[in-house]
Amino acid sequence: MNTSEKVAEWLRGCPDTSEVSPVVVAIGKQTYHGAAYRQQGQPGIYLAGDLPASYRRSTHTCFQFADDSRDWFVGCYWQGGALRPDQKTFHPFGHSFILLPWEHSEAIDHWEEKPYRRITAIRGKP
C-alpha cells in the first residue's frame, strides 16, 4: 500500500469524512502523496510531507489546478518536531498539510496590499 492509499484509508476513518480518493499532487519540483476528501461537505486535500518551498518563502501563496478555477490555500499544517503519542492520532504521517479551496465571492487576496502568488499545481492519481 503506497502513502496515498494509507492517507485515504486513514481519512475514511475520520468522522464526517466522505468521497475519499488517493491523489498525487506536484507543486514545483516536489511531489506529494495524499488524498482528496470531503469533510462535513467541504472539500480538501490532505498531503504528507514538508510544506511547499513556494509557501515557505511566502505564506501569501495559493495554488491552482488546471481543472479547477478556485485558488487552493494551505489551511493547516504540521511541521513540528517529534510527535508525542497523543499527537500521532491527528498527524499519523508526520509532516503534512491540507489544501483547501477558496470559496468566497471575493478573491483570496482581495483585501491584501499585494496580490498572492499563484503557483500551478498538478493533481493526479497515484
Give CA–CA dist 51/59, Å, rounded: 10
Over residues 50-103, the pLDDT tens digits come to: 999 999 999 999 999 999 999 999 999 998 877 788 888 888 998 999 999 999
Residue 87 confidence (pLDDT): 81
Residue 14 has pLDDT above 90, yes or no: yes
Is residue 36 within 8 A of residue 51, CB to CB? The reply is no
Give CA–CA dist 12/35, Å, rounded: 10
Is residue 48 within 8 A of residue 33, CB to CB? The reply is yes
Residue 63 confidence (pLDDT): 98
Q: What is the pTM of this model?
A: 0.94
Residue 1 has pLDDT above 90, yes or no: no
